[in-house]
Amino acid sequence: MNKTYLRVLKLSADKALGQPIASITPATQTTKVLRTGKAITAYNWNINGYQMIASAVPIFKEDELVGCFSYSISMNIWDHKNILENLLAENNMLKGEVLNAHTSRYSFDDLIGEERVFLQAKILARQVARQDNTKVLIIGESGTGKELFAHAIHKASIRCNRPFVRVNCAAIPESLLEAELFGYEDGAFTGAKKGGRLGKFELANHGTIFLDEIGEMPLAMQSKLLVVLQEQVIERLGGNNPIDINVRVISATNRNLELMVQKGSFREDLFYRLNVMQIEIPPLRNRKGDILHMVSTFLNGLNQRLNMNIKGIKGEALDILLKYSWPGNVRELENVMERAMSLAHMDQVDMIGKRHLAFICAKLKLNCFDGSKGLKTIVQEFEEQLICDALAETGQNKSLAAQYLNIDVSSLYRKMRKYGIPID
């Protein structure tokens, strides 16, 4: 008997020693276990106002019953029930928070486009989503929507209710990448979080891990990733216990991995592991027929997010968008739409016109102004456009906008009042 149990019994060790167990704790099941040789677990009993949960287990030596080991946990069962319920509720809440933090946000319905080359990629992605363990490599230029495809594949898979964890391989310093991917144990390195930390692969267990910018992963790390993909086992940094994982891997890159393999900057065996199914997302310049659909979608979304009411885009402005080559692809188009809408809003008009795309006109070397208006009017319109552009670029910061335009702040305010540009 330990000291805590003696305190519950209100006995000293001297008085308890040598006494029949039944005389000390009448409700004990120890004698029954010694008689039957069968364990009795998790039974409740009360002594001296303490509610107990106890178990008694027989001890055998060479098939002979030689004794019994019993233990009790002292607690109020109802308090225990409440504590357990609270812990379960907190655990479910934390699980929900983790799942919300690591969940897919986009479905195939969010992938906008009707051009044949885009639909082919979308159809293939839908098919791949149903093949649970198939690794997927998504390739395409920056801004084409590779991450959206990864989200959609996960959301359409049988793992949709499990975590979707994104890792930007280019954004994590090489010295931290192993700990970020595989986690670490307590004291694994200087500055390590007390108690250790789960890595991205463990967070994604039974779900999907999305390795974005996989072409930027250092060679040394590629070797370790290859082992994980082959064995489906990880080891935390500073630990020596293998941890089984069940994770679907989707990776993406805007680089030519085959060329990197030839140059020796990307492992050939890892490339083949990742490239089981390849989905190529076409650049926006190869599917300009989808621009009008995207413009409409961005208008609706940005109006809601920015609290605006821009109703549409004029034909002359749409023509400019169709002439542009879009090196930044869909991401650039969304940025251009937000900028043009902000300029139209500052103009207090509800349609995006040619003049709200002056920054695109400059790249195309197009004249965005009507020559019939005369030189003075055109110069004033151009000056107004430059001021609106500078304000948009600097987030409406007047001091920065003045520096951008190489004029003093007082001149900027004067010109804003002249052109009716809102100051507040």
- Position 90 confidence tier, pLDDT thresholds 50, 70, 90: low
Task: Provide the token pair at 192.
Answer: 């390590």
What is the structure's pLDDT at 16?
75
pLDDT at 52: 75
pLDDT surpasses 90 at 78: no
C-beta of residue 369 within 8 angstroms of C-beta of residue 399: no
User: How many angstroms separate the CA atoms of 359 and 356, rounded?
Assistant: 8
CATH 3.40.50.1820 correct for 285-419: no
What pLDDT does 315 receive?
93
Q: What is the mean pLDDT of residues 183-205?
A: 85
d(C-alpha 213, C-alpha 147), whole Å: 10
* pLDDT single digits (tens) 256-274: 999 999 999 999 999 999 9
Averaged over 179-184, what is the pLDDT?
93
When pLDDT is averaged across residues 75-98 and rounded to a whole number, the result is 57
- pLDDT per residue as tens digits for the range 104-156: 889 999 999 999 999 999 999 999 999 998 999 999 999 999 999 999 999 99
Label residues 354-373 b or e (16+ Cβ within 10 Å = b). Answer: bbbbbbbbeeeebebbeeee
Position of tokens 């969940």?
103
DSSP-assigned letter for residue 394:
T
Cβ proximity of 290 and 113 under 8 Å: yes
Q: What pLDDT shows up at residue 239?
A: 87
Share of the chain above pLDDT 70, in %: 89
The rounded radius of gyration (Å) of the Cα atoms in the chain is 34
DSSP per-residue codes, 68-91? EEEEEEES-HHHHHHHHHHHHHHH
Q: How many CB atoms lie within 10 A of CB 242?
A: 11
Question: What is the reported pTM?
Answer: 0.67
Distance of alpha carbon 159 from alpha carbon 151, whole angstroms:
11
Q: Which residues contact 279 (CB under 8 A, 6 or more apart)?
A: 121, 124, 125, 128, 136, 137, 138, 139, 149
DSSP 283: P
pLDDT score for 372 = 57
- Rounded to 10°, the helix 329-346/315-323 angle is 150
The pLDDT of residue 224 = 95
Cα–Cα distance measured from residue 372 to residue 362, given in angstroms and rounded to the nearest whole number:
20
Residue 74 pLDDT level (bands cut at 50, 70, 90): low
Neighbours of 77 (CB within 10 A): 12
The per-residue pLDDT of the chain, averaged, comes to 86
Closest CA to 122 of 134, 109, 135: 109
Mean pLDDT to the nearest integer, 239-262:
95
Range list of β-strands (E), 169-276: 208-212, 233-234, 243-244, 248-253
Residue 343 CA to residue 341 CA, distance in Å, equals: 5
Strands 248-253 and 243-244: unpaired
Residue type, 237: L
Kindly give the interhelix angle for 329-346 and 375-393, rounded to the nearest 10 degrees: 120
User: Which homologous superfamily is 108-282 in?
Assistant: P-loop containing nucleotide triphosphate hydrolases (3.40.50.300)
The domain segmentation of the chain, as residue ranges, is: 3-75, 108-282, 285-419
Cα–Cα dist 112/145, whole Å: 10
Answer whether 53's CB lies under 8 Å from 72's CB.
yes
pLDDT at 96: 54
Percent of the chain with pLDDT over 90: 50
